[in-house]
């Protein structure tokens, strides 16, 4: 909460330092509250909840409640936790300075206090806090717009707020999840890596209105013993080192949802035990003679084609049929490019807040570049790409070079077709063309340049990116092509 006027809180047990900081701030036009101890500073914050300070300057070494402990109490209060705190320290010890940031301080200044340094540091962090507040406002506006566009027919749209999308296909999935929410039958989620399968699983759990917990388990790499011990638990003496009974995750998930990720990698013996759990609702902890029953909804997910695994004999057909009662397939990002803009905005805000910097501007060439890319890693890849680009952006614009490097490192071609064509189809089309035509290298180069300019609507910077060359290199080729055309025109003109 930002106050209606410029108010700063100073907490320092040293009278001279406190008086000096107050005087500097008042001369700069700020209203200043001051306290001689951490506890009195906390009291002032509680008394001024309607007009909270923009910033807190706080000494580290104070009796009874030191600066680090005071900040810990401030951060526990939701109304106060976003106020930036600059520590005042009398030491240059690196471990103490590191501690200032570790506990959540925005910055530190060393004694003796220098007026210019204090005001400059304060200005930087007030500007940063203002940017963060604006990012929060933009995020809320985006959320409201998304809800307005998509959630007209949803019974409980808040459940899906973590899933950033305006896709009609995704909206259809949300409606399907709501329709199956009363069911206790398994839910089978498929989709490529990075599309958000766990978020869909969490939404399914939230809509089930089950009182128990959502318990996730990635089963990839678990052999049968480890899977059984993790899921079903064990009794004392079940194996060497089992000195007591230990409940498994299935017991922790009673009345809730158990989410088994990467189910396509499940060990064959474990598949039998999971099938028994689904059919009979029963299981045996390791080493136990007495069976137990479970009231747990099972949700599973995989990026693999389970039907192919069934055909290969590595996945039980009866388990597959039992699991896929309610099947949800999440489309890859390349099939819902309409989400790119809203995801870009979301990750840009997240990255800027995480790195505590102003959100950089988006270059005009970025969206066409992203729309032309295949995103094999889907939303997770886009998130990683944007976080990396923001961290590498030194100016006011997002680093498009970082985006280009991310795309190159993926091994996917730049300038991927908007229609989602694969490299194989492009090669096939080229082979078809070459059966009837065989252009020279120069003709093929000119053809590629022409197509790149056509796809980029004449934007030479983007065309150069699609071609994988510099803007200067493209300009030279265009200039050379124009000169050749002019020469040919002169030579072919009739002589008088």
Mean pLDDT of the chain: 83
Q: Which of 2-16, 116-130, 419-433 has the lowest mean pLDDT?
A: 419-433
Average pLDDT, stretch 92-119?
Answer: 84
Give pLDDT, residue 96: 79
Closest C-alpha to 204, from 166, 168, 173: 173
User: Over the stretch 208-259, which tens digit does the pLDDT of each residue have?
Assistant: 988 899 999 999 989 998 998 999 988 887 777 777 788 889 999 999 999 9
Q: 397 pLDDT band (50/70/90 cuts)?
A: confident
Question: What's the mean pLDDT in 15-40?
Answer: 92
Quick one: average pLDDT of 397-409?
Answer: 84
Locate 441 and state its tokens: 């290298």
In the numeric block, which tokens belong to residue 468? Answer: 């994988």
pLDDT at 137 over 50: yes
pLDDT score, position 424: 42
Q: Which residue has the tokens 């890319």?
A: 373
Ranges 54-68, 94-108, 189-203, 457-471: which has the least confidence: 457-471
- Greatest pairwise CA separation for the chain in angstroms: 109
Q: What is the pLDDT of residue 131?
A: 66
Segment among 27-41, 47-61, 129-143, 154-168 with least mean pLDDT: 129-143
In this predicted structure, the answer to whether residue 364 has a pLDDT above a threshold of 60 is: yes
User: What six digits make up the tokens of 144?
Assistant: 């409201």
What integer is the mean pLDDT of 170-196?
91
The pLDDT tens digits for 418-470 are 444 444 444 444 555 565 567 777 777 887 888 778 776 677 777 787 777 88
Do residues 64 and 37 lie in contact, with contact meaning Cβ atoms separated by under 8 Å?
yes
Q: In the predicted model, is pLDDT for residue 67 greater than 60?
A: yes
What digits encode the pLDDT tens for the residues 84-104?
899 998 877 777 787 887 788
Which residue matches tokens 């057909």?
317
In order of their start, the domains of the chain are 7-126 (3.40.50.2300), 168-330 (3.40.50.300), 334-409 (1.10.8.60), 439-492 (1.10.10.60)
The per-residue pLDDT for 361 is 84
């Amino acid at each position: 909460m930002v106050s209606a006027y410029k108010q700063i809180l100073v907490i320092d047990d040293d009278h001279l330092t406190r008086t000096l900081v107050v005087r500097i701030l008042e001369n700069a036009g700020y209203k200043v509250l001051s306290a001689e101890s951490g506890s009195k500073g906390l009291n002032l914050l509680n008394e001024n909840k309607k007009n909270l300070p923009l910033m807190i300057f706080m000494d580290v070494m104070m009796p009874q409640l030191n600066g680090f402990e005071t900040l810990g109490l401030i951060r526990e209060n939701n109304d106060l936790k976003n106020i930036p705190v600059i520590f005042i320290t009398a030491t240059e010890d690196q471990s103490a300075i590191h501690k200032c940031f570790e506990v959540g301080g925005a910055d530190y200044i060393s004694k003796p206090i220098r007026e210019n340094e204090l005001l400059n540091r304060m200005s930087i962090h007030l500007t940063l806090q203002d940017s963060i507040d604006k990012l929060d406002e933009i995020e809320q506006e985006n959320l409201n717009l998304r809800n307005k566009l998509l959630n007209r027919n949803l019974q409980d749209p808040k459940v899906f707020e973590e899933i950033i999308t305006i896709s009609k296909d995704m909206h259809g999935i949300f409606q399907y999840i709501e329709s199956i929410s009363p069911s206790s039958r398994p839910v089978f989620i498929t989709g490529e890596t990075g599309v958000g399968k766990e978020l869909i699983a969490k939404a399914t759990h939230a809509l089930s209105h089950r009182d128990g917990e959502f318990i996730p388990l990635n089963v990839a790499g678990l052999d049968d013993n480890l899977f059984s011990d993790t899921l079903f638990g064990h009794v004392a003496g079940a194996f060497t080192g089992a000195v007591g009974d230990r409940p498994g995750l299935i017991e922790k998930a009673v009345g809730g949802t158990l989410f088994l990720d990467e189910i396509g990698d499940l060990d064959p013996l474990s598949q039998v035990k999971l099938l028994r759990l689904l059919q009979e609702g029963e299981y045996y902890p390791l080493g136990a003679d007495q069976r137990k029953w479970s009231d747990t909804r099972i949700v599973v997910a995989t990026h693999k084609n389970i039907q192919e695994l069934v055909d290969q004999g590595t996945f039980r057909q009866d388990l597959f049929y039992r699991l896929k009662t309610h099947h949800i397939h999440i489309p890859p990002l390349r099939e819902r490019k309409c989400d790119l803009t809203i995801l870009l905005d979301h990750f840009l805000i997240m990255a800027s807040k995480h790195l505590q910097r102003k959100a950089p501007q988006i270059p005009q060439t970025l969206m066409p570049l992203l729309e032309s890319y295949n995103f094999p890693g889907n939303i997770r890849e886009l998130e990683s790409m944007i976080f990396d680009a923001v961290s590498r952006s030194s100016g006011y614009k997002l680093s498009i070079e970082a985006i280009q490097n991310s795309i190159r490192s993926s091994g996917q071609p730049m300038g991927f077709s908007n229609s989602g064509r694969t490299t194989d189809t492009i090669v096939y089309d080229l082979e078809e063309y070459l059966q009837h035509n065989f252009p020279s290298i120069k003709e093929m180069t000119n053809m590629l340049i022409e197509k790149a300019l056509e796809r980029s609507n004449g934007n030479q910077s983007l065309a150069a990116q699609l071609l994988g060359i510099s803007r200067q290199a493209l300009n030279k080729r265009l200039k050379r092509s124009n000169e050749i055309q002019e020469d040919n025109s002169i030579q072919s003109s009739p002589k008088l």
